[in-house]
Structure 1
């Protein structure tokens, strides 16, 4: 993001800050989609602003993805084998000017969208840009969750921020221009010990921070950092949170999802509990209409679509590959027509509501049928994160996972080393032949988590119409 002149001490964020009449430096991506008023020559009335409703473009019409930008991370030669900087999630900013990503053992990275993609369609022969991190926050420890401020606009610096929660640390708010720490929100347990939140989420107005802990849900006022909060007791840890209007869904590691109604003063009233996943719930998202909820879990190959009006059983079951405990993100387009998800096999799956009505009820007992609309093999490693641009037909995908050392190869290396020390050439040749045979078998049944060929990257893809195809 471009540098703007800012004061060193930034005041706490308030709901009125997004409505302040401040001068805007530079272009804003949102301004490109607001139609200017046209003068009416047939009347003598004053010109009034009449912005038209922006229609979201059609996605995946050409069944082709064009790579726009990419960025990758690799482990240092001096680093230990257990230190692997792989991507663990990416999210577009609400105004669409930049993308925030979490890299394991390397903190937070902020990447800007190239200016030529703000309002134009790229040609098919466009040169792939190498993304550089304009802001890098080097955070130690495991980051549990992160979230953008919903009123973020690059024209108003005070709204450009995000929050994170990580291991052994409070909820922290970071500045999106210089990566500085603005403030923190601390939750304490019954013995007055600070405990980290497992999940964080802003409400839609941006006035409150909803944080999920092991036994409680705490609500912080954005303009009052510190340890002032209201809490609501829960029966199981809140692993993820999704909100829409006055509805809130709280997923847990015990495979359940709890629905709550949130009133104006921030009190929670339980609506019901949903069962259906085979693992801990890791990610949820409401559709734009707020009627349906999509949920995914760890080591669960199913995406469950729920109708919150009849939440006793899933409305639909979608299939994807999830062979890992880490969170595998999915996303719903702003128009509500497309559901996109990655998988541990590196394949991007797309469900189009016009071709495959994933919002309608099907036989939920038949979960072996793959009713996906499109499949795109984009990555050689686990595609653990996807994010659709809020205004443009651009998709951000992230790949990577922790790779273990194959125990079979470790045994073979020890056998080679022992035989070489003994100097038994005959037996060495025999075992070498056996090792070749073992490696062939291992290659046929290789697991991606044991592969040494890792891919840790963030890639932007054009998923709309192209000017020309060559």
Structure 2
């Protein structure tokens, strides 16, 4: 990875984000660097999404009847060459972006690609969280890796070329038992791993696998984490969000807590400007936008459909203008800052008012995953959720075993409304669209 210019690097390293002025200086430096390197394309200009590629998962014939494969999250790699997806009861899958989509535009007559997983890691147990190495570059094989944390296991680092296990980072509880992390992320420079546990945060050095870590005690479980420079936002199942500042020694200094959600916080994400934070929660139809300089109350409230405890992902474009969220109704919602000032305070007194810019009904089932491509106008969406079996079956007629099996299958919600797929969509300009 290339090192940033010396003047920008020194300016950022010398800043200690303890008050508003320092936070704004870091954000301004980041914006200048971003403008000099790359100009992100405009999104949703055609108001139409074109399906580019898709991949689906189905239950094996030998699997138990209660096994339901569905996506639980997807994330583009930092270099944009592939997408990492977690499938319930089927581990982790890596799918590649088609070569013809690396540059140029697409036409309406382009055929839809059916994707196969280039890497499949058949992990057992429930995967709590996953993330890419921030400096991942396909031309540098040693940088191509991701982290997962799952039930009854330590944090594990996997190779993105062959799916092999590189190393693990182990946290231990008070009785010296391996404790699984609930959430995990890299620091922006990729040198450290911040993991959230039931009662603490633990910081691991990437180049020192094992059980060496720094620990910071928490009052509640760290359900989700995001970092921005020296700032760390930690969501909790008790509906609160905590802000911390990390110094050079790795010590955490509490900045404050934010309250406003009605359920456990499932995702927090900093905007590109470094001044705004967006959060979502389980069984909470609101996305809360926070100004970290004045964090006592939400700056804005955006609405989406979340009817389950499942984590429903949202994403912010690298340019910071677009906020996209999935929903249990299968509709993705888009807030465009050029048309809706979602980063500023709006009139939220009318709870029936929907201030969304665009709506796209893309899936028949819950759209639980969205991820915007880091370089191209492409978005990845994933669908699926756990469906309960209806305990009441109507089978009054005497029939043979085959008829009975068909009747039971018909009463299963899973067999009727399920959709578990990963789809890539074009969200840029379509020249030949009439």
TM over 0.5: yes
1:373 paired residue number: 357
- 1:302 and 2:286 equivalent? yes
Determine helix, strand or coil for the equivalent of 2:394. Answer: helix
Pick from 91, 96, 109: which aligns with 1:112? 96
Determine helix, strand or coil for the equivalent of 2:142. Answer: helix
1:357 paired residue number: 341
Give the paired residue count.
394
- Identify unmatched segments of 5+ residues in structure 1: 1-17, 21-50, 422-434, 443-447
Following TM superposition, the consecutive aligned residue runs of length 4 or more in structure 1 with deviations greater than 4 angstroms are: 448-451
Pick from 69, 73, 79: which aligns with 1:89? 73
Pick from 383, 394, 400: which aligns with 1:412? 394
Q: CA deviation at 1:78?
A: 2.9
Task: Please tell me whether the aligned partners of residues 318 and 367 of structure 1 are also in contact (alpha carbons under 8 angstroms).
Answer: no
Cα distance in 1 for partners of 2:420, 2:75 equals 16
1:3-402 equivalence runs, <5 A: 18=1, 53-402=37-386
Q: How big is each residue's C-alpha offset from its partner over 1:18-48, in whole Å with a ceiling of 9 and x where there is no partner?
A: 359xxxxxxxxxxxxxxxxxxxxxxxxxxxx
1:469 paired residue number: 433
- Identify unmatched segments of 5+ residues in structure 2: 4-34, 400-406
Q: CA deviation at 1:227?
A: 0.2
Determine helix, strand or coil for the equivalent of 2:417. Answer: coil
Q: How big is each residue's C-alpha offset from its partner over 1:131-172, in whole Å with a ceiling of 9 and x where there is no partner?
A: 110000000000000010000000000000000000000000
Determine helix, strand or coil for the equivalent of 1:344. Answer: coil
**Superposition RMSD on alpha carbons, in Å?**
1.8
Q: How big is each residue's C-alpha offset from its partner over 1:294-330, in whole Å with a ceiling of 9 and x where there is no partner?
A: 0000010000000111111100000000011111000
Task: Please tell me whether the aligned partners of residues 314 and 364 of structure 1 are also in contact (alpha carbons under 8 angstroms).
Answer: no
Q: How big is each residue's C-alpha offset from its partner over 1:389-428, in whole Å with a ceiling of 9 and x where there is no partner?
A: 0000000000000111123xx3423xx25xx39xxxxxxx
Cα distance in 2 for partners of 1:393, 1:102 equals 23
Cα distance in 1 for partners of 2:243, 2:46 equals 38
Question: Structure 2 length as normaliser, TM-score?
Answer: 0.88
Cα distance in 2 for partners of 1:189, 1:175 equals 28
Cα distance in 2 for partners of 1:331, 1:136 equals 25
Task: Please tell me whether the aligned partners of residues 302 and 317 of structure 1 are also in contact (alpha carbons under 8 angstroms).
Answer: yes
Q: How big is each residue's C-alpha offset from its partner over 1:64-87, in whole Å with a ceiling of 9 and x where there is no partner?
A: 000000000011233222101100
Q: CA deviation at 1:342?
A: 0.5
Q: Residues 228 and 324 (structure 1 numbering): CA distance in 2 closer, same or farther, change over 3 Å?
A: same
1:390-469 equivalence runs, <5 A: 390-407=374-391, 410-413=392-395, 416=396, 420=398, 452-469=416-433
Determine helix, strand or coil for the equivalent of 2:100. Answer: helix
Q: CA deviation at 1:262?
A: 1.0
Determine helix, strand or coil for the equivalent of 2:37. Answer: coil
Cα distance in 2 for partners of 1:264, 1:365 equals 43
Cα distance in 2 for partners of 1:71, 1:203 equals 31
Determine helix, strand or coil for the equivalent of 1:452. Answer: helix
2:15 paired residue number: none
Cα distance in 2 for partners of 1:377, 1:269 equals 43
Cα distance in 1 for partners of 2:346, 2:296 equals 15
Structure with the greater alpha carbon radius of gyration: 1
Cα distance in 2 for partners of 1:177, 1:223 equals 19
Determine helix, strand or coil for the equivalent of 1:357. Answer: coil
Task: Please tell me whether the aligned partners of residues 204 and 245 of structure 1 are also in contact (alpha carbons under 8 angstroms).
Answer: yes
Determine helix, strand or coil for the equivalent of 1:278. Answer: coil
Determine helix, strand or coil for the equivalent of 1:158. Answer: helix
Cα distance in 2 for partners of 1:192, 1:236 equals 20
Q: Residues 366 and 308 (structure 1 numbering): CA distance in 2 closer, same or farther, change over 3 Å?
A: farther
Cα distance in 2 for partners of 1:305, 1:19 equals 33
Cα distance in 1 for partners of 2:415, 2:64 equals 17
